[in-house]
């Protein structure tokens, strides 16, 4: 597995988990990825699954005991489905969470603890006596998938980190406040750590640039929207975002946005005055899932 820039950033992020988030999560989601195990809501950063449990067919048990057994079975099923859902989360264009879990006992233990700490909703009792329970978990934040995907092999690597802004002055008048990359029609898939590259392979974002680790843990590398209207209304990119049209998808799993060298230079030039890239003020607009 490659030593991705994403992994380096998340290593530094672990040092900042006590710092409060600087931005709220985006508005209710539209980019939702469904599977037999549950849903990944990429716009709001939530994972959810529903567990089902049936009461045992035992004449020696009373109704109350059967109900408790059904609830226990539903919770166990929810844990299982959530674990499968997390393992399948696309980290970057080459790796999924399961790759990190398989290679590291430490990561596997942290992910297991994370699942056990997930939030359960109220039980729903069905007419046949079975029970359904919803379970949810955050993609980002202190107790989240993002907070534990830190490959131990990179723990000794030096990571370049942008300092957390304190009373940061507003960007110069007339400058851009973020960037929206229009990826519609290109088959771009959501991931925790996508990149923006130009057609010559130059990394525009994130590459080797310093990234605010607290920001990465709390809201991720990019935000997702399924319409330009939703993206422009998102406070993450401010009131004057630069809007760029991607040329094609990139990476083996089509999670990266590829743009022309001219547009890449336009992003970097705009960022030189406003510094929005290092604060993750980036949104990808992708096709609804």
Domain limit, last residue, from 131, 153, 175: 153
Residues 172 and 212 in one domain: yes
Which residues constitute the domain of residue 278? 161-285
Q: Is residue 9 part of a domain?
A: no
Q: What is the pLDDT of residue 103?
A: 87
Q: Is residue 22 part of a domain?
A: no
Domain containing residue 117: CATH number? 3.10.129
Cis amide leading into 206 (omega within 30):
yes
Q: What is the pLDDT of residue 27?
A: 46
Residues 170 and 135 in one domain: no
pLDDT average per 10 residues of sequence, the chain (289 residues): 53 42 48 94 95 92 92 97 95 90 89 94 94 96 82 36 49 80 97 94 82 75 94 94 97 96 96 89 92
Q: What is the pLDDT of residue 141?
A: 87
Instruction: Give the chain's domain count.
Output: 2
Residues 45 and 75 in one domain: yes
Q: Where are the alpha helices (DSSP H) in the chain?
A: 5-13, 63-87, 97-103, 105-116, 145-148, 213-219, 228-232, 261-274
Residues 232 and 277 in one domain: yes
Q: Is residue 6 part of a domain?
A: no
Q: What is the pLDDT of residue 206?
A: 83
pLDDT digits (tens, 9 = 90+) for 102-126: 988 988 999 999 999 999 999 999 9
Q: What is the pLDDT of residue 29?
A: 43
Q: What is the pLDDT of residue 16?
A: 44
Q: Is residue 174 part of a domain?
A: yes
Cβ neighbors of 29 (< 8 A, separation 6 or more) are 41, 42, 43, 44, 46
Residues 58 and 168 in one domain: no
Q: Is residue 89 part of a domain?
A: yes
Domain limit, last residue, from 136, 153, 170: 153
């Amino acid at each position: 597995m490659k030593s991705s820039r994403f992994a380096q950033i998340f290593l530094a992020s672990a040092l900042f988990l006590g710092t409060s988030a600087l931005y709220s999560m985006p508005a209710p989601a539209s980019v939702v990825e469904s599977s037999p195990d549950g849903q990944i809501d990429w716009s709001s950063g939530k994972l959810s699954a529903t567990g089902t449990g049936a009461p045992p067919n035992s004449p020696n048990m009373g109704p109350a005991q059967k109900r408790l057994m059904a609830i226990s079975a539903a919770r166990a099923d929810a844990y299982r489905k959530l674990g499968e859902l997390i393992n399948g989360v696309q980290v970057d264009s080459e790796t999924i969470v399961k790759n990190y879990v398989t290679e590291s006992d430490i990561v596997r233990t942290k992910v297991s603890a994370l699942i056990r700490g997930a939030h359960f909703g109220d039980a729903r009792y069905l007419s046949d006596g079975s029970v359904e329970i919803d379970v949810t978990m955050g993609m980002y934040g202190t107790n989240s998938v993002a907070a534990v995907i830190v490959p131990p092999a990179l723990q000794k690597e030096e990571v370049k980190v942008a300092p957390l802004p304190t009373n940061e002055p507003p960007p110069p008048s007339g400058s851009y406040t973020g960037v929206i990359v229009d990826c519609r029609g290109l088959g771009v898939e959501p991931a925790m750590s996508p990149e923006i590259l130009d057609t010559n392979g130059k990394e525009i974002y994130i590459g080797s640039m310093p990234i605010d680790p607290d920001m990465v843990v709390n809201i991720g590398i990019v935000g997702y929207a399924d319409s330009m209207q939703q993206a422009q209304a998102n406070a993450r990119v401010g009131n004057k975002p630069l809007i760029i049209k991607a040329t094609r998808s990139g990476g083996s799993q089509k999670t990266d946005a590829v743009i022309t060298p001219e547009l890449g230079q336009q992003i970097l030039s705009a960022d030189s005055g406003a510094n929005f890239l290092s604060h993750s003020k980036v949104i990808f607009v992708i096709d609804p899932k």
